[in-house]
Amino acid sequence: MSVWPAGEVREGENVTSWFTVRLAFADGARVDALAVVGAAGLSVEDVRAQPALCLDDLVVLADWLEAPLHEACGLGADPGGDGAAGSRRARPPWPGGVEGRWQVAQEYRAAQREGADPVLAVMDATGHSRRTSLRLISGARDAGFLTPRHMKR
């Protein structure tokens, strides 16, 4: 993986940095991305891949890029470690496995009852991005804690 700075904007104490990232694989496949690291965390703005990425790979792309980007920013290789203290919001502890999927379903249903956006409720509860929260909701559906999104005919 290669990371190059592509730009930076400073506004007071906040710094937003853009990076060009290239993932090259042994089989000749490659992924080029434009990533942004700022106060809100990591986001990927543009992705070009040869051959094209499947949806599952796009979902985990930010996870692949997180540690190398934090290292390139001088924040340390471990985004949750001491090197990045204060630069990212802390995620509340969230259990994995069946317990985590059950809690996601509880948050989702509570938001539905209150007439709120259930995806945003899961995002708030877990501290994860929209994509990761959608993946967690999907896991809760697969585990049978939520009704299927589309009924099969």
Is residue 69 located within the same domain as residue 111? no
Which SS3 state, helix, strand or coil, does residue 37 take? strand
Is residue 8 located within the same domain as residue 78? yes
The pLDDT tens digits of the residues spanning 3-62 come to: 888 888 888 888 888 888 888 877 888 888 888 877 777 777 888 888 887 777 777 776
Is residue 72 located within the same domain as residue 116? no
Amino acid identity of residue 20, one-letter, is T
Is residue 17 located within the same domain as residue 56? yes
The pLDDT tens digits of the residues spanning 71-110 come to: 766 655 444 444 433 334 445 567 778 888 999 999 999 9
Tell me the whole-structure pTM to 2 decimals: 0.45
By the 8 A CB rule, do 101 and 139 touch?
yes
Burial code (b: 16+ CB inside 10 Å, e: under 16) for 28-52 equals: eeebebbbbbbeebbebeebebeee
